[in-house]
C-alpha cells in the first residue's frame, strides 16, 4: 500500500529533500490491555522496574527523559513522546523513526514474568499516515508491514484504514473482540508457551467473572494536527521560551484540561512534549514538532466527556492547525458512547470544515474518525 502525505502543493524534489532537516512528528500509538488475572490479584504492570523499561525502550530507539506518577498511573516523557503505565493498561506513543513494535515480545515477557499477566484482553495499534514513510525502519516501513508483524502474533487481529488513503488518513490494527483474551499464535512458540502455561486453569474462572461484569467506562480522544500557525509554533522554541513551563503557560496548554498535574519538556532548539495526569487515573499528552516545513501537534486524552466538541474547539483554537484529524474511541458504558452522533453534528467548527467522517463499530468499542481543513485554505 503506497503511503505518503499529499504533496500536490509542494515544490520539493527528491535531492533537495535529502538535504533538508526533517523530523517525523507523526506518532505510532500502541495501547495494550491485559486481562485481569484471577490467580494473581496483585498483578500490576507498575511492578516492572525502571531499568527494565530503560532496556525495553532501547529496542524502540528512545529513552525516558522525565517521570511523574500518582496512585493510578505512571507517566513517562520520552525522547520521542510518551509512555503511560497503569495496573493493567500500557500505552506507548512514539514519533520519529522509533520502532515500538520491536518491543512487543519483550513487553509480553515482562508482563508475564514480572507483572503477573498471562493474557492480552485488547490491543490497539494506530497512527496517522507518515509525512515521509521512506525514512521509517522495519517493521514500520508501511502499514502492510506493520500488519504482517502483528498478524504473526494474533490469529484474529483486524486492520483498517480510515479517511482518504491518498491524502490524510489513519490506520488501525485492533483485536477488539469484546473480551476472552487473545490467542498468541503457535508459531511464536516460546511466547505461546509462556502465555498459555497458566491459561487453561484460569480460563473458566475468568469467563464467569467476565459474564458478571460490565466493562469499566473507557474512552480515548486524539486530535492530530498539521500545517500549524507559525506564530503559535514559535512558542515551542528556545528563541521565545526558556522553560517548558513558560511554553505551557504562554500557549494556554494548562487551560485545556484544568486539574491535571503537568510534566512538560522543551527541547533545544525547539520541540515540546507534555504529560498531564489526574488523581482519577486520567491522562493527557501533547507533543509538538514546530518546524514550519513539517509542523505537527498531537493531543490525546482518556478524559470522559459527553461534549468532545468543546474540548476539540479549545485544542484547535490553541494550536491553529491548517488541517486536523479527530478520533474518538468509546465503549458502551462511557459517557462518550454517543460521540459519533455528536461529531456528526460538527460539520464546521469555527473556520474548520469537515471533509471526512467515518464511524466503525467494534465488539467492545465504537470509533469515530473525522478530518477537518481550515477554509478558505
Ligand X SMILES: C[S@+](CC[C@H](N)C(=O)[O-])C[C@H]1O[C@@H](n2cnc3c(N)ncnc32)[C@H](O)[C@@H]1O
The contact set with ligand X (CB under 6 A) reads 23, 25, 27, 79-81, 95, 267, 270-271, 273, 287-291, 296-298
Helix (H, G, I), strand (E, B) or coil at 303: coil
Q: How far apart are CA 274 and CA 77, in angstroms?
A: 7
Rounded to the nearest whole angstrom, what is the least distance from the CB of residue 315 to ligand X in the complex?
A: 13
Rounded to the nearest whole angstrom, what is the least distance from the CB of residue 225 to ligand X in the complex?
A: 9
Rounded to the nearest whole angstrom, what is the least distance from the CB of residue 77 to ligand X in the complex?
A: 9
The conformation of residue 148, written as its DSSP 8-state character, comes to H
User: Is 11 one of the catalytic residues?
Assistant: no
Q: 84: annotated binding-site residue?
A: no
Nearest alpha-carbon partner for 368 in 331, 338, 329: 329
Helix (H, G, I), strand (E, B) or coil at 147: helix
User: Is 21 one of the catalytic residues?
Assistant: no
Nearest alpha-carbon partner for 324 in 81, 84, 26: 26
- Quick check: 33 and 179 in contact, CB under 8 A? no
Q: 291: annotated binding-site residue?
A: yes
User: Is 287 one of the catalytic residues?
Assistant: yes
Q: 67: annotated binding-site residue?
A: no
Nearer to ligand X, 128 or 177 (CB): 128
Rounded to the nearest whole angstrom, what is the least distance from the CB of residue 153 to ligand X in the complex?
A: 25
Looking at 62, 95, 103, 241, which residue is catalytic? Answer: 95
User: Cβ neighbours of residue 65 under 8 Å, at least 6 residues apart?
Assistant: 77, 78, 79, 265
- Quick check: 317 and 221 in contact, CB under 8 A? no
Rounded to the nearest whole angstrom, what is the least distance from the CB of residue 267 to ligand X in the complex?
A: 3
Nearer to ligand X, 267 or 369 (CB): 267
- For residue 348, with 0-12 CB atoms within 10 Å meaning exposed, 13-18 middle and 19 or more buried, which class applies? exposed
Rounded to the nearest whole angstrom, what is the least distance from the CB of residue 252 to ligand X in the complex?
A: 17
Task: State the cell numbers at 289.
Answer: 514538532
- Quick check: 56 and 50 in contact, CB under 8 A? no
Q: 201: annotated binding-site residue?
A: no
Nearer to ligand X, 26 or 370 (CB): 26
Looking at 82, 182, 251, 273, which residue is catalytic? Answer: 273
User: Cβ neighbours of residue 190 under 8 Å, at least 6 residues apart?
Assistant: none
SS3 content of the chain, % helix, strand, coil (to 5): 30, 30, 40
User: Is 373 one of the catalytic residues?
Assistant: no
Task: State the cell numbers at 303.
Answer: 478524559
Looking at 103, 169, 251, 287, which residue is catalytic? Answer: 287
- Quick check: 167 and 136 in contact, CB under 8 A? no
The annotation places the binding site at: 23, 80, 267, 291
Q: Which residues does the annotation mark as catalytic?
A: 81, 95, 273, 287
The annotation places the binding site for substrate at: 23, 80, 267, 291
Amino acid at each position: 500500500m503506497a503511503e505518503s502525505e499529499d504533496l500536490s502543493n509542494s515544490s520539493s524534489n527528491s535531492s533537495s529533500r535529502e538535504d533538508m532537516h526533517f523530523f517525523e512528528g507523526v506518532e505510532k500509538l500502541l495501547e495494550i490491555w491485559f486481562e485481569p488475572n484471577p490467580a494473581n490479584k496483585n498483578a500490576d504492570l507498575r511492578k516492572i522496574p525502571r531499568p527494565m523499561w530503560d532496556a525495553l525502550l532501547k529496542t524502540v530507539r528512545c529513552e525516558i527523559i522525565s517521570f511523574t506518577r500518582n496512585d493510578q498511573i505512571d507517566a513517562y516523557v520520552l525522547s520521542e513522546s510518551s509512555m503511560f503505565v497503569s495496573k493493567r493498561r500500557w500505552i506507548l506513543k512514539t514519533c520519529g523513526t522509533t520502532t515500538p513494535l520491536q518491543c512487543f515480545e519483550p513487553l509480553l515477557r515482562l508482563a508475564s514474568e514480572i507483572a503477573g499477566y498471562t493474557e492480552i484482553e485488547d490491543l490497539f495499534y494506530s497512527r496517522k499516515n507518515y509525512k515521509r514513510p521512506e525514512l521509517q525502519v522495519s517493521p514500520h516501513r508501511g502499514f502492510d508491514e506493520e500488519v504482517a508483524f502483528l498478524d504473526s502474533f494474533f490469529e484474529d487481529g483486524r486492520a483498517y484504514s480510515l479517511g482518504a488513503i491518498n491524502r490524510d488518513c489513519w490506520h488501525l490494527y485492533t483485536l477488539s473482540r469484546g473480551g476472552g483474551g487473545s490467542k498468541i499464535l503457535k508459531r511464536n512458540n516460546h511466547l505461546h508457551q509462556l502465555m498459555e502455561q497458566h491459561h487453561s486453569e484460569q480460563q473458566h474462572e475468568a469467563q464467569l467473572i467476565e459474564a458478571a461484569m460490565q466493562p469499566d467506562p473507557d474512552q480515548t480522544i486524539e486530535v492530530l494536527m498539521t500545517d500549524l500557525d507559525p506564530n503559535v509554533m514559535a512558542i515551542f522554541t528556545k528563541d521565545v521560551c526558556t522553560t517548558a513551563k513558560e511554553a505551557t503557560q504562554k500557549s494556554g496548554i494548562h487551560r485545556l484540561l484544568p486539574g491535571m498535574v503537568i510534566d512538560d519538556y522543551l527541547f533545544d532548539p525547539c520541540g515540546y512534549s507534555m504529560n498531564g495526569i489526574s488523581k482519577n487515573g486520567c491522562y493527557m499528552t501533547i507533543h509538538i514538532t514546530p518546524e514550519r516545513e513539517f509542523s505537527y501537534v498531537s493531543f490525546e486524552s482518556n478524559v470522559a466527556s459527553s461534549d468532545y466538541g468543546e474540548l476539540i474547539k479549545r485544542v484547535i483554537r490553541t494550536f491553529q492547525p491548517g488541517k486536523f484529524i479527530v478520533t474518538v474511541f468509546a465503549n458502551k458504558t462511557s459517557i462518550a458512547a454517543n460521540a459519533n452522533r455528536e461529531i456528526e453534528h460538527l460539520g464546521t467548527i469555527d473556520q474548520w470544515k469537515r471533509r471526512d467522517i467515518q464511524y466503525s463499530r467494534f465488539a467492545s468499542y465504537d470509533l469515530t474518525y473525522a478530518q477537518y481543513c481550515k477554509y478558505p485554505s
